[in-house]
Chain A
Amino acid sequence: MKRYFDGIVHRNKRIAPGVFDMTVAGEAVAARPGQFAMLYPGGDSRLLPRPISFCGADEKNGLYRFVYQAAGGGTTLLAALEPGRTIRALAPLGNGFPETRPGERAAIIGGGLGVPPLLWLTRSRAASGAEVSVFLGFRSDPILLREFAETGAGVSVSTDDGSMGFHGNAADMFENFADEPAFDTVYACGPKPLLARAAGIAEKIRAACYVSVEERMACGVGACYCCAVETRGETKYRKCCADGPVFDAKELVWGAGAVG
Chain B
Amino acid sequence: MADTSVSLAGVTFKNPVITASGTFASGREYAELTDLSRLGGITTKGVSMEPWPGNPPPRVAETYGGTLNSVGLQNPGVERFLAEDAPFLRGCGARVIVNICGHTVDEYAAVAEALADSGADMLELNISCPNVKRGGIAFGTDPERVREVTEAVRKKARQPLIVKLSPNVTDITEIARAAEDGGADALSLINTLLGMKIDIRRRRPVLANAVGGLSGPAIMPVAVRMVWAVAKAARVPVVGMGGIMTARDAIEFIMAGAAAIAVGTATFRDPNAAVSIAEGIERFMDENGINSLSEIRGIV
Question: Contacts A48-B269, A219-B267 given: A257-B69 contact, CB under 8 Å?
Answer: no
Residues of A within 8 A of B242 (CB): none
Also in contact, A257 and B29, with CB within 8 A (given A47-B62, A48-B67): no
Question: What chain B residues lie within 8 Å of A79 (beta carbons)?
Answer: none
- CB < 8 Å: which of B32, B53, B67, B245 contacts A218? B67
Query: B24 near A223 (CB under 8 angstroms)?
Result: yes
A4 to B32, CA, bound (A): 10
Q: Which residues of A contact B61 (CB under 8 A)?
A: 216
Q: Is A176 an interface residue when CB atoms closer than 8 A count as contact?
A: no
Of chain A, the residue at the smallest CB distance from B201 is A260
Q: How many chain B residues touch the partner (CB < 8 A)?
A: 40
Is A237 touching B268 in the complex (CB atoms < 8 A)?
A: no
Chain B binding surface, main DSSP class: loop
How many interface residues does chain A have, given as a range? 35 or more
- Consensus secondary structure, chain A interface: loop
Say yes or no: is A137 at the interface (Cβ < 8 Å to chain B): no
Out of A40, A47, A228, which one reaches B216, CB within 8 Å? A47
A90 an interface residue at 8 Å Cβ cutoff? yes
CA A257 – CA B62 in complex, angstroms? 17
B32 contact set on A, CB distance < 8 A: 1-2
Report chain B residues within 8 Å CB of A235.
Answer: 51, 53, 76
A–B Cβ pairs within 8 angstroms, 27 of them: A2-B33, A4-B272, A44-B217, A44-B245, A47-B62, A47-B65, A47-B268, A49-B269, A74-B62, A216-B57, A216-B59, A217-B60, A221-B33, A222-B25, A223-B23, A223-B29, A223-B30, A224-B25, A225-B74, A227-B59, A228-B56, A228-B71, A229-B57, A237-B56, A237-B57, A237-B74, A257-B57
Q: Which residues of B come within 8 Å of A, CB atoms?
A: 22-25, 29-30, 32-33, 45, 51, 53-62, 64-67, 69, 71, 74, 76, 208, 216-217, 245, 265-272
